[in-house]
């Protein structure tokens, strides 16, 4: 079903990367400029902050004639306006700022419908546009407008929207685009799972419930064309099918690290081509014992850099050896650094365990992929009132039955189910290719991978050392 392509000569690729890196170092170009460049002759590999990101696609090329790249609506946007290869198939604030500067805010991405802080914001001149599109420019956030569901167990009792728009009819939820790659392993589509059209079934033979996944992704694409692209009617099934085919055949991962070198050398398993062959089925390695094969959960969900785990001094003498050792240590920490998981709705309440003694891999359990292998909407506290920044709306929700009150910047899954218990629940995304797609979390609240680690450190009182933090960052940067 999925093409397995052999990567071009590894040495050639590494050489090209080194030459381009040297050239870039000499010219002092900024990261944003660098990310636009591609090593000559290898359109599947793009530079990012920590090295090179690789996308594997059928026939070794990105088919730019696919409707994914065509404006199918009325505002000039395509899927590619927000899903860019070089940015891990999401979009970076860096590029958005460049597009704004180049066009004075006239690039199609700057559209009132969901690019602005409010769909009725003033965009009459460039200064007004700069404020109207502030969330895109600062954190790459789109405004997802959703109504409180009709039979919700809660009502919106207070709105504090700095942009004066949100109401029960339409909450403004500022969210990052998710990557439109590595899709075959999704267990929930969208941050709140709202495009998971039918529950994905455990494996029959192929391991992935491709049929329901396709139905979900087709629905997602149709809604993106009607919504983001403002089409009057959605295109027919043939066009939608082409888009879904295209994105389902993309695999993306970091392939080369600036210091550690090629991430698939010396028995390491980085890069998109190896990733494309990853074994997976719905429920694989489930933390809560729901793997349909009956296998118990193995906390070593990531085993890409096992063989770089060589603690000998000799191995670490050179910068490359040290960088490799750091990545391998980071992987071990990801798998086994103890985290006392508490207060996570969807996990602690469901299991009845006030504290779960786990690690990063308890939630990021899909082997070498890093999402949860079954849909697991959970609330890790990112939308809590105490983390609210002044540029985010804050919503006060009151439970219709109990009168209890909760404040949140984004009710997440509760906006779909109407359930009180689902407030603040989101999915954990696939972690491959994560280096290229800052900022992180649904609300872009972590500017860097270091900020992601700091969030976990404070949220779960881990008390990591500086070394542990930088090892984890080195590992995430190599995914």
Least gap, CB of 400 to ligand HEC (angstroms): 25
Instruction: Give the interface segment with ligand HEC, choosing from 47-55, 152-160, 170-178, 414-422 (CB under 6 A).
Output: 170-178
By the rule CB under 6 A, 434 interacts with ligand HEC: yes
By the rule CB under 6 A, 413 interacts with ligand HEC: no
By the rule CB under 6 A, 346 interacts with ligand HEC: no
By the rule CB under 6 A, 441 interacts with ligand HEC: yes
Tell me the number of residues near ligand HEC by CB under 6 A.
51
Q: Report d(CA 22, CA 472) in Å as an integer.
A: 26
Q: Report d(CA 58, CA 61) in Å as an integer.
A: 6
Task: Write out the two tokens for 134.
Answer: 């502030």
Tokens 């390491």, residue located: 268
Least gap, CB of 410 to ligand HEC (angstroms): 8
Of the residues 45, 50, 81, 373, which one makes contact with ligand HEC according to CB under 6 A: 81
What SS3 class is residue 253? strand
By the rule CB under 6 A, 82 interacts with ligand HEC: yes
Q: Report d(CA 20, CA 298) in Å as an integer.
A: 40
By the rule CB under 6 A, 248 interacts with ligand HEC: no
By the rule CB under 6 A, 234 interacts with ligand HEC: no
By the rule CB under 6 A, 456 interacts with ligand HEC: yes
Q: Could you give the angle at the alpha carbon of 122 between the alpha carbons of 116 and 125, nearest 5°? A: 105
Task: Write out the two tokens for 434.
Answer: 């994560």
- Bridge-based pairing of strands 356-358 and 339-341 is antiparallel
CA atoms within a 13 Å half-sphere pointing along the CA-CB vector of 301 = 32
List the 45-47 sheet strands across, edge first: 45-47, 51-56, 251-257, 261-262
Q: Report d(CA 180, CA 89) in Å as an integer.
A: 6
Beta strands in 427-477 (DSSP E): none
- Of 271-330, binders to ligand HEC (CB under 6 A) are none
Least gap, CB of 362 to ligand HEC (angstroms): 5
Considering the complex, state which of residue 236 and residue 294 has its C-beta at the smaller distance from ligand HEC.
236
Instruction: Give the interface segment with ligand HEC, choosing from 32-40, 221-229, 266-274, 302-310 (CB under 6 A).
Output: 221-229
Q: Report d(CA 121, CA 165) in Å as an integer.
A: 9
- Bridge-based pairing of strands 154-160 and 394-399 is antiparallel
The candidate with the shortest Cα–Cα distance to 175, out of 449, 434, 427, is 427
By the rule CB under 6 A, 185 interacts with ligand HEC: no
Considering the complex, state which of residue 42 and residue 440 has its C-beta at the smaller distance from ligand HEC.
440
Q: Are 294 and 224 in contact (CB under 8 A)?
A: no
Site string for ligand HEC, 353-392 (x = CB under 6 A): -------x-xxx-------------x-x-x----------
Least gap, CB of 224 to ligand HEC (angstroms): 4
By the rule CB under 6 A, 142 interacts with ligand HEC: yes
Q: Could you give the angle at the alpha carbon of 455 between the alpha carbons of 303 and 424, nearest 5°? A: 100
Considering the complex, state which of residue 321 and residue 377 has its C-beta at the smaller distance from ligand HEC.
377
- Bridge-based pairing of strands 142-146 and 171-175 is antiparallel
Of the residues 35, 341, 394, 406, which one makes contact with ligand HEC according to CB under 6 A: 341
Of the residues 35, 51, 52, 83, which one makes contact with ligand HEC according to CB under 6 A: 83
By the rule CB under 6 A, 433 interacts with ligand HEC: no
Instruction: Give the interface segment with ligand HEC, choosing from 180-188, 200-208, 252-260, 395-403 (CB under 6 A).
Output: 180-188
Beta strands in 269-359 (DSSP E): 339-341, 356-358
By the rule CB under 6 A, 228 interacts with ligand HEC: yes
Q: Report d(CA 356, CA 347) in Å as an integer.
A: 9
Q: Are 192 and 371 in contact (CB under 8 A)?
A: no
Of the residues 129, 139, 432, 442, which one makes contact with ligand HEC according to CB under 6 A: 442
- Cα-to-chain-centroid distance, residue 223: 19
By the rule CB under 6 A, 190 interacts with ligand HEC: yes
Least gap, CB of 319 to ligand HEC (angstroms): 24
Least gap, CB of 346 to ligand HEC (angstroms): 9
The candidate with the shortest Cα–Cα distance to 135, out of 447, 444, 446, is 444
Chain residues that interact with ligand HEC, rule: CB under 6 A? 68, 77, 79, 81-83, 114, 142, 144, 175, 177-178, 180, 183, 186, 189-191, 217, 220-221, 224-225, 228-229, 243, 247, 334, 339, 341, 344, 347, 360, 362-364, 378, 380, 382, 426, 428-429, 431, 434, 440-442, 452, 456, 472, 476
């Amino acid at each position: 079903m999925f093409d397995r392509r052999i990567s071009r000569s590894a040495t050639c690729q590494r050489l090209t990367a080194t030459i381009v890196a040297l050239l870039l170092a000499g010219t002092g170009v900024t990261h944003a400029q660098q990310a636009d460049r591609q090593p000559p002759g290898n359109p599947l590999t793009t530079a990012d902050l920590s090295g090179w990101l690789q996308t594997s696609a059928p026939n070794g090329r990105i088919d730019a004639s696919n409707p994914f790249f065509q404006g199918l609506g009325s505002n000039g946007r395509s899927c590619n306006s927000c899903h860019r290869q070089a940015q891990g198939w999401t979009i970076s604030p860096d590029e958005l700022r460049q597009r704004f500067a180049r066009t004075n805010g006239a690039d199609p991405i700057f559209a009132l419908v969901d690019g602005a802080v409010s769909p009725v914001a003033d965009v009459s001149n460039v200064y007004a546009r700069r404020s109207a599109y502030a969330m895109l420019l600062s954190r790459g956030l789109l405004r997802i407008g959703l109504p409180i569901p009709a039979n919700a167990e809660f009502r919106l009792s207070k709105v504090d929207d700095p942009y004066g728009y949100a109401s029960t009819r339409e909450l403004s939820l500022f969210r990052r685009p998710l990557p439109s790659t590595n899709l075959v392993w999704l267990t929930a589509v969208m941050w709140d799972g709202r495009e998971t059209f039918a529950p994905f079934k455990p494996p029959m033979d192929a391991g992935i419930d491709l049929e329901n996944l396709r139905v979900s992704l087709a629905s997602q694409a149709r809604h993106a064309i009607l919504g983001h692209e403002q089409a009057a009617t959605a295109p027919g099934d043939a066009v939608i099918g082409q888009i879904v085919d295209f994105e389902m055949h993309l695999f993306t991962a970091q392939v080369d690290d600036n210091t550690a070198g090629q991430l698939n050398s010396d028995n390491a398993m980085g890069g998109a081509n190896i990733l494309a062959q990853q074994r997976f089925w719905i429920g694989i390695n489930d933390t809560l014992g729901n793997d349909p094969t009956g296998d118990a959960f193995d906390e070593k969900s990531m085993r890409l850099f096992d063989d770089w785990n060589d603690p000998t001094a000799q191995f670490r003498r050179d910068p490359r050896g040290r960088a490799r050792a750091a990545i391998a240590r980071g992987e071990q920490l990801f798998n086994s650094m103890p985290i006392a998981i508490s207060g996570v709705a969807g996990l602690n309440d469901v299991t009845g365990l006030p504290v779960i003694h786990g690690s990063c891999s308890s939630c990021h359990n899909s082997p070498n992929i890093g999402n949860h292998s079954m849909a697991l909407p959970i609330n890790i506290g990112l939308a809590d009132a105490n983390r609210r920044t002044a540029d985010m709306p804050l919503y006060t929700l009151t439970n219709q039955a109990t009168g209890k009150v909760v404040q949140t910047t984004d009710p997440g899954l509760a906006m779909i189910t109407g359930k009180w218990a689902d407030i603040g629940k989101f999915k954990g995304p696939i972690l491959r290719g994560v280096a290229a797609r800052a900022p992180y979390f649904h609300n872009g609240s972590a500017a860097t991978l270091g900020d992601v680690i700091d969030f976990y450190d404070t949220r779960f009182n881990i008390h990591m050392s500086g070394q542990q933090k930088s090892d984890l960052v080195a590992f995430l940067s190599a995914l």
